[in-house]
Amino acid sequence: MALVAGGLHDTTLAQEADRRPNIVIILADDMGFADMGSFGSEIPTPNLDALAQNGVRFTQFYTHATCSPTRSMLLSGVDNHLNGLGNMSEMTAPNQKGVPGYEGTLNHQIAMLPELLNSAGYQTYMVGKWHMGKQPDKIPRARGFDRDFALLDGGGSYWDMTNLTARNPNSLFTEDGLYLNELPKDYYATRTYTDKMITFIDEGRASGKPFFAYVSHQAPHDPYHLPRKWRDKHVGEYDMGWDITRQKRLARQVELGIMPEGTPLAERLWFMPMALDLAPAARAVMGRKMELYAGMVENLDFHVGRLVQHLKEIGEYENTLFLVFGDNGPEGSDLLQMLTGTPGTLNYLFAAINWSQTDFKAWGDPGSFVGYGPGWAQVSTTPFAQYKGMTAEGGLRNALIVSGPGIALEKGSIHHRSVMHVADIMPTLLEVAGAVYPETLEGRRLPPLFGKSWVPMLAGEVDVVRSDEDYLAWEIFANRALRQGHWKIRWQWKPFGTEEWELFDLAGDPAELHDRASSHPEKLASMLELWEEYVEANNVIIPSRAIFEAVDDSLPQRFPYAPGYPPIMTQRQYEPPADLFKESNK
């Protein structure tokens, strides 16, 4: 492709259908910032790393803090409070019900990326998790995809159709716009999604059109379902626990250049013990969870490699633009416990029947439900704080790889300067495809895209996507944040936050350790003005109920972070001088 240095956003050039690049989005579910080898992980991800080496890594890329809001902005380019995912459908608050923008599904006030790419002459394919509507007018086929094999729910078994609650016992799937009663023989989510995508690409080649492939993997979202041969690749490797694993990841990040020398590590969550204080058996149990998670990521990488290899074999790799990222921070909450953990309830009974393979040796099997918990979630998001659902950096910031034609930046380089957002992808890809975002669609006036195209930056024409005056903002479950330049304000439910606005300087404090609100009141005030502007412009309704509103009552009290306190936990046996022992004891 001759898209470098000014060609990429040349619509005349782009409209030459045979020369426009294919586009592949690899979306991982709940994968953290630090989970790929090229971002500091010890988990082997050679195929994802190869894409990174052939492209560029970005370290200031933001998604939303949960899944469907991110996906909605990815495919609409419009803020989630306008596109229908103002809240997740599972968590819509009483004061949000019936309000446009809070449908819980992608509404029809927007234009979809696949719709517009389709109109621009692309074949559009989707496999994997959808989570933005199950009704006939909301499924992938209805929203612009030519071919699909989609899990419409937000999660569930990787082996079959089992879902998580008594009233929603079966996951719903579609294939090419039709609902499924059964899954293909030998179904395993990550493998089957990859097989289907390869089939779609092969069967669409005769059209001569470029393709847009949205590979929306369920992995590595819990439950950690994994073929047996992938479960035992890291036995014992995580017995050291989350503290040391985090330190090692940060060291690798510094070595790779992902994070600068001297980067502080976020505090260990106050309700998690220091892992080395745990008995060996407890560490083995906890470590097994991370072993399985590592296997999930490794297996995901393997199947990404299969897709990449196939594109090479059919001669399409060189003309394919890849985007790789996770949809939000890693999952630190216990989803199954939240849904089914109350004895005597229907959901508890449902779990007893369908999700009770709790034995250590059964983890990974159908019927098992393993998530790795908050300790490991903070490893996945090293060096940041907290995890999915939170507006701390651990919930919002993710690793991004962009690889393929049209990139003038040095191959294998790491880009730190530009603050980027998942909603930027829509204008970026429209520009790559030579498509235009219309003002109206089928008579409807479309909301403006709030993202900014990366094409000029990728082409080396500009250094950053947005200026220090631009801002990004988020709200989910009443947790809120706004970033402008290197400053960030954050409001979170106690005890993860203070239920007051906090101010952080991410330039030196990416782990959000030091609240600067009292020392920089004018900065806080100016950013709060931006927040009000954001709320007004984007239909933000702070929910009257939220899942984190009572967390403060269920967790230990939070005290100021003081590493090493109390010393009794680390003090070792005193060894007196040998020559001072009683003679008979020497």
Partner 1 sequence: MIQAKKHGPVLALAILFAVVLAQPAFGQVPPRFYWKGMNGTNAVLLISMSLSGNANPADHANTVLPGSIIEADIVIAGYAHLFELFDRSAMIAVLLPMGRISGDVTLGGLAFNEQVHGFGDPMVEFDINLIGPDPIRNIPDFMRHEPGFSLDVMVDLAFPIGEYDNDTPLNIGQNRWYGRVGFPIVWQLGPWVPDRRMTLEFLPSVWLFGDNDDFMGQELSTDPLFQVEGHLTRNFAKDLWGSLDVSWMNGGQATLDGDEGEDSDMRGLGFTLGYQLNDHAQLTFGYMATMGDDEPGDLNMDRFLISLTFGWHKLIEGMDRIGGES
- Contact between 335 and partner 1 (CB under 8 A)? no
State the amino acid at position 141 in one-letter form. R
> Min. distance of Cβ 484 from partner 1 in angstroms?
35
> Min. distance of Cβ 352 from partner 1 in angstroms?
14
Q: Which of 213, 211, 205, 137 is nearest to 177 (CA)?
A: 137
At 98, list the tokens. Answer: 């019936």
Determine the Cα–Cα distance for residues 510 and 516; give it in Å rounded to an integer.
Answer: 13
Give whole-number Cα distances, 53 to 39, 48, 456, 560, in Å. 11, 9, 21, 41
Q: Which of 51, 195, 202, 179 is nearest to 123 (CA)?
A: 202
Percent helix, strand and coil across the chain, each rounded to 5?
A: 35, 15, 50
260 and 252 in contact (C-beta within 8 Å)?
no
220 or 375: CB nearest partner 1: 375
10, 365, 499, 552: residue in contact with partner 1 (rule CB under 8 A): 365
59 or 381: CB nearest partner 1: 381
Residue whose tokens read 């009000």: 532
> Min. distance of Cβ 76 from partner 1 in angstroms?
37
Residue-level length of the chain? 586
Which residues inside 367-426 make contact with partner 1, applying CB under 8 A?
373-375
170 or 337: CB nearest partner 1: 337
228 or 582: CB nearest partner 1: 228
> Min. distance of Cβ 555 from partner 1 in angstroms?
9
- Contact between 274 and partner 1 (CB under 8 A)? no
Peptide linkage before 220 cis (omega within 30 of 0):
yes
121 or 273: CB nearest partner 1: 273
Determine the Cα–Cα distance for residues 230 and 461; give it in Å rounded to an integer.
Answer: 44
Q: How many residues bind partner 1 (CB under 8 A)?
A: 27
Using DSSP, state whether 286 is helix, strand or coil.
Answer: helix
359 or 439: CB nearest partner 1: 359
Stretch that binds partner 1, among 107-115, 189-197, 255-263, 273-281 (CB under 8 A): 273-281
- Is 225 catalytic? The answer is no
Which residues inside 214-233 make contact with partner 1, applying CB under 8 A?
228
Q: Which of 300, 299, 328 is nearest to 80 (CA)?
A: 328
At 499, list the tokens. Answer: 């239920």
- Is 131 catalytic? The answer is yes
281 or 568: CB nearest partner 1: 281
11, 137, 271, 417: residue in contact with partner 1 (rule CB under 8 A): 271
- Contact between 361 and partner 1 (CB under 8 A)? yes
Q: Which of 377, 378, 356, 375 is nearest to 366 (CA)?
A: 356
6 or 273: CB nearest partner 1: 273
Give whole-number Cα distances, 423 to 166, 210, 270, 328, 398, in Å. 35, 22, 33, 13, 13
- Contact between 97 and partner 1 (CB under 8 A)? no
Q: Which of 52, 29, 222 is nearest to 127 (CA)?
A: 29
- Contact between 343 and partner 1 (CB under 8 A)? no
State the amino acid at position 421 in one-letter form. H
- Contact between 239 and partner 1 (CB under 8 A)? yes
> Min. distance of Cβ 357 from partner 1 in angstroms?
7
- Contact between 286 and partner 1 (CB under 8 A)? yes
> Min. distance of Cβ 78 from partner 1 in angstroms?
38
- The catalytic residue among 67, 81, 234, 421 is 67
34 and 381 in contact (C-beta within 8 Å)?
yes
Residue whose tokens read 């007004």: 536
Name, in order, each residue with C-beta under 8 angstroms of 316's C-beta and a sequence gap of 6 or more. Answer: 22, 201
257, 349, 360, 468: residue in contact with partner 1 (rule CB under 8 A): 360
- Contact between 514 and partner 1 (CB under 8 A)? no
> Min. distance of Cβ 550 from partner 1 in angstroms?
17
Using DSSP, state whether 74 is helix, strand or coil.
Answer: helix
- The catalytic residue among 9, 64, 81, 131 is 131
Other Cβ atoms closer than 10 A to 237:
14
- Contact between 434 and partner 1 (CB under 8 A)? no
> Min. distance of Cβ 279 from partner 1 in angstroms?
6
100, 136, 184, 236: residue in contact with partner 1 (rule CB under 8 A): 236
- Contact between 362 and partner 1 (CB under 8 A)? yes
Helix-helix angle 280-313:373-380, to 10 degrees: 40
- Contact between 281 and partner 1 (CB under 8 A)? yes
Determine the Cα–Cα distance for residues 122 and 17; give it in Å rounded to an integer.
Answer: 8
> Min. distance of Cβ 480 from partner 1 in angstroms?
26
365 or 461: CB nearest partner 1: 365
Per CB under 8 A, residues contacting partner 1 are: 228, 235-236, 239, 271-273, 278-286, 288, 357-362, 365, 373-375
State the catalytic residues.
67, 131
